Each structure stands twice: as C-alpha cells, then as structure tokens.
C-alpha cells in the first residue's frame, strides 16, 4: 500500500515513512492510494484469532512494508497481558437499556481510554522504525484529554523518542491531568497552553507547516492525524463485528450488519470505522455523536462545515470532544469529492471560514453510512444514570454522548454497538453529578491524583513553542 496527500503534492510513500510524519509535506493529510477488499471468507478466517493476531492481519493491510514476523512481534508486545488484561476489547450487552444495544469496551489499557489501543501499537512501531533507520523523533502533539496520556504512557522511557504534548490549560479532568503531569520521565514534556484545544492543534499544525524547522528538530506526530493510529483503530471495528456475530449460525452471519455509534471530536476514530466499512466490514451505519460543540453533527446533517472560533468553543462535561475544527474531516472530504474537485473546493474553507458541500449531503448516508446527532449536558447525565440504574455499569460522559445519540437513532433489527471512550473514573465529578453522590475512588487513581505534577504553562505563541521544542529536542 502507498499513501498520498490530500493536497496532491507528495510523492507516494509507504507506511513506515508516513508513520513518522505528521502533516504531509504539502500541508495535507496522508491517505491510502487504494483500499483492499475484505471478503466474508477472510473475515470468517479471522474469527478465532486473538486480538494481537487480528491486529497483525488488519494493520498488515496498511503496513505492507513491514515484514510479517516483525509486525507480529510488535502487535504481541503492544497488546500483551501486562498492558491489556483479557479480554482486551469485551462486548457488554446493554439490552436492559435498549434491545440490541451493546458497549464495546475500548478502555481496558493503561490510561483507561480507547486511545491506548492505537497508541500502544505506535509505542512499539515507531521505535522499531527509528532503530532501523538510526534516527530519533521528537513527537509534538495536541490533546483535549486522552491522547496525551496515552501517548506519554506508550513512549515514556524510550531512548530515541521524546514527547512534547500540548493541552488546553484548565480544560481537562483532574484524572486526565494527573495521568499526564505526574510523569517525570526526562523524555516527556507537558505544556499547558492558555487557550482551547483548537489553539493547541493550530500550534502543532503551524510547526508542521515549517519543513525546515520540522526537519532540523526531527518533529513528528502521533495525534489523530497519524496513519498508524488510524490503522490500529480499524482493528477494533473488525473485532467488534466478529464478537457481535459470534453466536449467529452461518446463514445468519452471511447477512449480519451492525450499526456503530462513535463519540467524535476530531473525526479520527470514526474515520477508521469508515475505512473498515469501505474495506468490507459489515457496518451498516456509522452513527456520529457530538456534544454541544456540534460542528461535525451540523456538517453531516446539512453538508455545511463551519468551524467555530476559539471564543465560541464551549467548555463541556465531555471535554475531550470540545473541538470545533476536526482535522481528520479533510480525509473524508477528499474521498467524497475526488482529488480534482477537492483541490478546487477545499480552499473555500480557508478563504470563507466555511465549506458548503450541501450538494453532496445526500451521499453521506446513502453511500457512506454516516448519520449524526448531538448530546447536551443534561442528556449525558441522564444516560449515565440510566445505564447505571438498569445495568449497574458506569460510563463516562463521552460514552454517554454515544449512548444518547445511539438511543435516538438506532433502528429495530440492527445491533447498535457504542464505542466506549474512557473509564468513568476519569470523569468522577460528572459521574457524581449524574448519580447524586461521589463514587468510591480506586486506590490507584487516588495515588495518581496525589502525585506531584510537572507542567510548563505557555501562552498561545508559536515562537515560544519553537523555543521550547529546540530546548528539549533529541538529536540524532
């Protein structure tokens, strides 16, 4: 498989090459030049595989330049029992909430968030590529909550990798901050930016848009634009369909489809689901769920994409989705329009602050299976309360957005899988508000909250960030 840029100015490159980069050299995002097809026979042949073995097969569709035995070793290390206790991705029925509703448990990893499933793979794959090439990498990332801690826990202590992670000052939960800021590994640098997540993301993009600075300081990215994360996220869409259909007989499996509800901020997770669906995983609909920062919901309902200003980005009780400019949407629009039409129409977004694709909106569901809705604070509290009352399970507020939207849009006869975003313990205050009282805090979580924290505060200033990167960058 080769990867190309949405902007058309990049020589096709293999997986290991684009794995180490953020934006493409022309400022676009890398996408596969073509996708393989997964037949029902192939999917059935994977049914008895463990998660790490399945990851080797699925990621191997993208990482065609990595020897199979090396890839198997990387996935075995990434999904080992010391990182993910079995079952790695359990499916938990929520039938008492609604018939056919299931929760896909993606938060069994070291930082209690779905980001671990992709990031632990990158924590093995990126050092592997660097060691082969005798290089170092200084990862620059932006996080609205869980990406930062997942990246830092995946790369902490690595000899040839450093991490500079930007987060919006005061906009994450106490546990999210503690998971990041309590790390004292010398190759981890936490930066709290005075602004919102979109400011952090814009700073990362600005650094990546300077090829000379980026090359001189060996800057790369592991946030949601990294294709390695997209490939690794495709795995659990395949896994979820296999597990959801395990109890069906052969005749029932042949026509079995599922809907998948995905809480979405930056469009990375659901884009992986889109790729899985395009390759042939029997996903009927991708149900996109947003919070009050509903720019993506607005786009999929109307066809008009209008990112909001930083002043208009709301601070909500599902803070990891407080994003008003979804980086990965560019990948979908590129596929939607094709290269020529994309190059003509995408610049409208920069010129006008909005992109009107309402002439394409009918295709969103009919061709690509996308439907969407948003959730409010009161609705996510209701969802947390409902799930806990009927099943005894605790869900976090982002997952509650997914449950809320799934309940609004699910249709009889089609199982609806809600992708879990994080453990409820990461958002104790919101869960307590929903349930009318504080929940018991796990000893390990309390120890984390009590640990000393290490963070550098920074104004929303590109020159200041450049100086910080140069100060901390590893040199080959």
Residues 334 and 300 in one domain: yes
Residues 212 and 99 in one domain: no
* 115 tagged catalytic: yes
pLDDT at 318: 94
Residues 246 and 341 in one domain: yes
pLDDT at 473: 92
* Structural domain contains residue 76: no
* Structural domain contains residue 84: no
CATH number, residue 260: 3.40.50.1100
Q: Which of 115, 325, 423, 426 is catalytic?
A: 115
* Structural domain contains residue 355: yes
pTM: 0.92
* Structural domain contains residue 16: no
List the chain pLDDT tens, one digit each, 476 residues: 999 999 999 999 999 999 987 778 898 999 999 999 999 999 999 999 999 999 999 999 999 999 999 999 999 999 999 999 889 999 999 999 999 999 999 999 999 999 999 999 999 999 999 999 999 999 999 887 778 899 999 999 998 999 999 999 988 888 889 999 999 999 999 999 999 888 998 999 899 888 899 989 999 878 778 899 999 999 999 999 999 999 999 889 988 999 999 999 999 999 999 999 999 999 999 999 999 999 999 999 999 999 998 888 898 999 889 888 998 999 999 999 999 999 999 999 999 999 999 999 999 999 999 999 999 999 999 999 999 999 999 999 999 999 999 999 999 999 999 999 999 988 999 999 999 988 788 888 888 889 999 999 999 999 999 999 999 999 87
* Structural domain contains residue 267: yes
Residues 272 and 288 in one domain: yes
Residue-range definition of the domain harbouring residue 201: 136-217+442-475
Write the CB contacts of 339 (distance below 8 Å, at least 6 apart in sequence): 8
Residues 353 and 414 in one domain: yes
SS3 of the chain = CCEEECCCCCCCECHHHHHCCCCCCCCCCEEECCCCCCCHHHHHHCCCCCHHHHHHHHHHHHCCCCCHHHHHHHHHHHCCCCCCCCCCCCEEECCCCCCCEEEECCCCCCCCECHHHHHHHHHHHHHHHHHHHCCCEEEEEECCCHHHHHHHHHHCCCCCEEEEEEEECCCCCHHHHHHHHCCCCCCEEEEEECCCHHHHHHHHHHHHCCHHHHHHCCEECCCCCCHHHHHHHHHHHHHHHHHHCCCCCHHHHHCCCEEEEEECCCCHHHHHHHHHHHHCCCEEEEEEEECCCCHHHHHHHHCEECCCCHHHCCCCCCHHHCCCCCCCHHHHHHHHHCHHHHHHHCHHHHHHCCEECHHHHHHHHHCCCEEEEECCHHHHHHHHHHHHHHHCCCCCHHHHHHHHHHHHHCCCCCCEEEECCECHHHHHHHHHHHHCCCCCCCHHHHHHHHCCCCCEEECCCHHHHHHHHHHHCCCC
Residues 156 and 190 in one domain: yes
* Structural domain contains residue 82: no
Residues 276 and 398 in one domain: yes
pLDDT at 147: 84
Number of domains in the chain: 2
Residues 259 and 394 in one domain: yes
Let me know how long the chain is. Answer: 476
* Structural domain contains residue 403: yes
Residues 409 and 291 in one domain: yes
pLDDT at 3: 97
Residues 261 and 298 in one domain: yes
pLDDT at 146: 79
Residues 420 and 275 in one domain: yes
Residues 293 and 370 in one domain: yes
CA atoms within 13 A on the CB side of 59: 34
CA distances from 151 to 71, 253, 322, 394, 432 (A): 20, 37, 19, 25, 28
- Taking a C-beta distance cutoff of 8 angstroms, is the pair 208, 221 a contact? yes
pLDDT at 448: 86
* Structural domain contains residue 453: yes
């Amino acid at each position: 498989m080769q990867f190309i840029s949405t902007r058309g100015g990049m020589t096709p490159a293999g997986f290991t090459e684009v794995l180490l980069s953020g934006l493409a050299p022309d400022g676009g995002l890398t996408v596969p030049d073509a996708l393989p097809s997964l037949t029902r026979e192939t999917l059935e042949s994977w049914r008895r595989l463990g998660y790490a073995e399945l990851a080797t097969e699925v990621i191997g569709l993208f990482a065609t330049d990595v020897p199979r035995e090396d890839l198997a070793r990387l996935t075995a290390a990434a999904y080992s029992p010391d990182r993910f206790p079995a079952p790695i991705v359990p499916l938990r029925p929520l039938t008492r909430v609604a018939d056919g509703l299931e929760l896909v448990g993606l938060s069994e990893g070291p930082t209690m968030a779905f980001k671990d499933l992709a990031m632990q793979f990158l924590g093995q794959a990126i050092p592997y590529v660097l060691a082969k090439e005798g290089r170092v990498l200084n990862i620059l990332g932006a996080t609205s909550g869980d990406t930062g801690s997942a990246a830092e826990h995946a790369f902490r202590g690595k000899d040839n990798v450093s991490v500079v992670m930007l987060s919006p000052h005061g906009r994450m939960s106490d546990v999210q901050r503690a998971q990041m800021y309590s790390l004292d590994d010398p190759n981890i640098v936490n930066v709290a930016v005075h602004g919102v997540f979109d400011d952090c993301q814009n700073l990362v993009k600005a650094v990546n848009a300077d090829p000379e600075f980026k090359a001189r300081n060996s800057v790369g990215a592991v946030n949601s634009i990294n294709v390695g994360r997209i490939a690794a996220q495709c795995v659990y869409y395949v896994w979820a369909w296999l597990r959801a259909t395990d109890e069906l007989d052969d005749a029932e499996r042949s026509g079995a489809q599922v809907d998948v509800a995905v809480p979405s901020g930056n469009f990375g997770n659901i884009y992986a689901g889109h790729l899985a669906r395009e390759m042939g995983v029997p996903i009927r609909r991708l149900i996109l769920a947003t919070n009050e920062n509903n720019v993506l919901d607005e786009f999929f309902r109307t066809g008009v994409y209008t990112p909001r200003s930083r002043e208009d980005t709301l601070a909500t009780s599902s803070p990891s989705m407080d994003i008003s400019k979804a980086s990965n949407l560019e990948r979908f629009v590129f596929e939607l329009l094709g290269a020529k039409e994309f190059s003509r129409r995408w610049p409208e977004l920069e010129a006008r602050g909005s992109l009107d694709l309402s002439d394409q909106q009918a295709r969103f569901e009919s061709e690509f299976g996308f439907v969407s809705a948003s959730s409010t604070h009161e609705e996510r509290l209701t969802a947390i309360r409902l799930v806990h009352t009927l099943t005894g399970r605790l869900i976090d507020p982002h997952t509650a957005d997914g449950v809320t939207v799934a309940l609004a849009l699910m249709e009889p006869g089609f199982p609806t899988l809600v992708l879990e975003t994080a453990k409820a313990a990461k958002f104790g205050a919101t869960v307590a508000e929903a349930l009318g009282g504080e929940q018991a805090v796990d000893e390990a979580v309390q120890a984390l909250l009590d640990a000393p924290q290490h963070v550098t505060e920074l104004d929303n200033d590109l020159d200041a960030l450049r100086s910080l990167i140069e100060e901390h960058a590893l040199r080959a």
